[in-house]
Structure 1
């Protein structure tokens, strides 16, 4: 198994929402554990005689913690009187119902409770995310097609 395959497996597990995945093959044993803010990967390979075993740290953990830190900084600066629409699940964020359709909402659009604002794909299921507040969309905090976490702010809404 190559490093690229392992990295793809880490990304898949992070997107799927699974808390732990173990993979054992003839010469390799991989355990991937995910937590609320941290992804840990342990890889043990049978090395040729005389060579030490190796652990490869997860790149997904470093990426997600950096993204969380940046989003947290923006939230403190701009969200003083705005309401956040947060993700209720882990998955991939999409602004459109399909590639050839228009986006659900744009900055400046007015939303009310039960207005569909986006779709989150989790394990090949597309879940419509509805606004739970009334107001005007001020900012879209997530890029289309990016992985998101549970509770991650997606939109800022001005309730006035």
Structure 2
């Protein structure tokens, strides 16, 4: 199972409202949990040799969490609207450097082009390079180094002009 399939599974679980989904395949077991008291999704990968037999997929309904009313638009929000937001394509740990002794991928004020590596996100012991899909100038880095990130969480603001 590749990262795209896992991302699609997480999206499906989030939209379905299920509180927990377990998927067991030949060599991996994935458990995705969501809760009304927290908006986190947890994905575990365990070698199948260590697992007792379980049902392939189980889901339990969960009550909808109340949605907070949208905040009134502020001048800062209208300023940010001219920027492009680069979001995390996966859940994992955000790193600004390829290794502890290496320089940062990008810094605020740096001009980037399409295909430039902006960061890496570690997911299940795999380091995924996140490349820019736009050209522009980095205006703001929205996540601290070595921080956990969620799927679709904003990472960078880019000025395309």
Q: Secondary structure at the match of 1:76?
A: helix
Q: Within 5 Å, which residues of 2 pair with 1:88-127?
A: 88-127=89-128
Counterpart of 1:33 in structure 2 is 33
Cα RMSD of the aligned pairs, angstroms, is 3.3
- TM-score w.r.t. the length of structure 1 is 0.56
Structure 2 CA distance for aligned equivalents of residues 134 and 87 of structure 1:
17
Q: What is the CA–CA distance in structure 2 between the aligned matches of 1:32 and 1:117, rounded to whole Å?
A: 28
1:86 and 2:87 correspond: yes
> Which 4+ stretches in 1 moved above 6 angstroms?
none
More helix by share: 1
Note the C-alpha offset of 1:34: 2.1
Q: Deviations over 1:27-78 (max 9, x none)?
A: xxxx9822696249xxxxxxxxxxxxxxxxxxxxxxxxxxxx9xxx9x8354
Give the whole-Å Cα distance in 1 for the aligned partners of 2:32 and 2:92.
17
Q: Where do residues 1-160 of structure 1 align in structure 2 (5 Å cutoff)?
A: 20=20, 33-34=33-34, 38-39=39-40, 76=77, 78-160=79-161
For the pair shown, which has the larger CA radius of gyration, 1 or 2?
1
Asked whether the equivalents of residues 32 and 39 of structure 1 are also in contact (C-alpha less than 8 Å), the reply is no
Which secondary structure does the structure 2 equivalent of 1:38 belong to? strand
Does structure 2 conserve the Cα–Cα contact (< 8 Å) formed by 1:82 and 1:158? yes
TM-score, normalised to structure 2, is: 0.56
The number of residues matched between the two structures is: 105
Q: Distance in 2 between matches of 1:136 and 1:32?
A: 36
Q: How far apart, CA to CA, are the structure 1 residues paired with 2:35 and 2:103?
A: 35
Extract unaligned runs of 5+ from structure 2. 1-9, 14-18, 23-30, 42-69
